[in-house]
Amino acid sequence: MARSMCAAAAAGLRPNGGLLLRFAQARRGSHPPPARGRRGWVTAAAAACALPWGVWAAVRVTGVETGFPAVALIAFTPYVAATSLVPVVLALLSRRGRVALAASAAAVALVACVLPRGLPGPAAPASPGGPRLTLLSANVYYGLADPEALVRLVHEHGVDVLSLQELTPQSDDALTRAGLRGPLPYDVTEAAPGPVGGAVYSAHPVEKVGGTARNDYFAMPRARVEVPGAPSVEVVSAHAIPPSGPAAIPAWQDSLRQLPDARPDGALRVLAGDFNATLDHAEFRALLETGYIDAADATGAGWAPTWSAEGSLPGVTIDHVLVDRRAQVRRTSVHSLPDTDHRAVLTELVLPRSR
């Protein structure tokens, strides 16, 4: 009796069960699970958001910024590093672990490139025991910078050597009238119209290094400065072509390569000026690797922008003082100078004692 009731019940339920099964199959066939499609779009969006930071990190780390606009843009790496957590946060909020991991790797690479220049460097070696030398470098913008303000900086900070770029004959005369020759009576000057000229003024006797012919771009005069109690110091007023367009990139590279390398057994050398390059440019880092120290980077002041002073663009650090490793960097600072788009860079050095 029970068996027949169970069979009857099973027979009665089969049609309904089949109907429910077909209904479920029909729903699966006509409406595919939407979650998979949404996941794909979210992943693609998160990856697209992280891609610019990843590409930037790859270019910066490998140093392949060989063309325009990459050379110009790479100068803004500190700003990109400062925003590099944005794609990481977005990936985490959207629960895209792999994208978050890749974005984190790019962020770590970018921050590692720019963080050290804003932190105090390793402990300085024992003082070389020689005299101090205070050097000021400024791009005077077609000779238009305020000469009296510049001379005030020289007096206020006890400047021993002044390196100028874009010096014109008129600005050289104006500096003389403003009293520059009092504290800095010696000079190697190559004044010229427009942005071409340059000069090195000194409190100590100087001798011109090299011939009178200019390089193919801007004047970059060299002066051998005789500092009492120290070996002769060769000071170069550096000025590289700006990488302002595709045609300018080869000239920019060439003008940086025309600067003399550091030579541990050669002349004690300082390069001071407008390099139109930052620590994020591979071409500039190659010059440093010959044996120079970037003074601002060594003192934790490498984030201080030197251009553009009028704020037309986010500030970048393209004016530098590069120092022979045999000297010691004591301090650096940047100073506003009226009527120029650059800030002046001040560096105090301790030179090795002469033998």
pLDDT of residue 108: 98
Q: Which residues make beta-bridge pairs with 238?
A: 273
Torsion 168-173-175-178 (CA) sign: negative
pLDDT of residue 355: 78
**Tens-digit pLDDT profile for residues 308-331:** 988 778 999 999 999 999 999 999
First to last CA, the chain: 121
Question: How many angstroms separate the CA atoms of 306 and 137, rounded?
Answer: 11
The overall pTM is greater than 0.85:
yes
Structure tokens at 244: 């302002």
In the predicted model, what is the mean pLDDT of residues 83-112? 97
Largest interatomic CA distance in the chain: 127
CATH 3.60.10.10: which residues of the chain? 124-352
pLDDT of residue 214: 53
Provide the pLDDT confidence category of residue 210 given band limits of 50, 70 and 90. confident
Beta strands in 118-193 (DSSP E): 129-139, 161-165, 186-190
Percent of the chain with pLDDT over 70: 86
Provide the pLDDT confidence category of residue 15 given band limits of 50, 70 and 90. very low
pLDDT of residue 23: 40
pLDDT greater than 80 at residue 30: no
Least confident of 33-42, 61-70, 259-268, 344-353: 33-42
CA angle 115, 117, 122 (to 5 degrees): 105
pLDDT greater than 60 at residue 124: no
Structure tokens at 146: 């305020």
Question: How many angstroms separate the CA atoms of 197 and 192, rounded?
Answer: 4
Residues 6+ apart with CB under 8 A from 186: 201, 202, 203, 204, 205, 206
Residue 152 has φ and ψ, to the nearest 5°, of -60, -45
Give the other-Cβ count within 10 Å of 173's Cβ. 13
In terms of DSSP bridges, do strands 186-190 and 198-202 run parallel, antiparallel, or are they unpaired?
antiparallel
From the list 230, 229, 218, the residue with the least C-alpha distance to 259 is 218
Question: How many angstroms separate the CA atoms of 60 and 278, rounded?
Answer: 12
Question: How many angstroms separate the CA atoms of 22 and 336, rounded?
Answer: 81
pLDDT of residue 36: 59
pLDDT greater than 70 at residue 12: no
**Tens-digit pLDDT profile for residues 32-84:** 555 556 678 999 999 999 999 999 999 999 999 989 999 999 999 999 999 99
Question: How many angstroms separate the CA atoms of 243 and 257, rounded?
Answer: 14
pLDDT of residue 7: 42
pLDDT greater than 70 at residue 162: yes
124-352: CATH, from 3.40.50.300, 3.60.10.10, 3.60.20.30, 3.40.50.920: 3.60.10.10
Cα distances (angstroms) measured from residue 55 to each of 47, 283, 285: 12, 19, 20
Question: How many angstroms separate the CA atoms of 122 and 171, rounded?
Answer: 40
Average pLDDT, the chain: 89
pLDDT of residue 40: 87
In the predicted model, what is the mean pLDDT of residues 166-184? 98
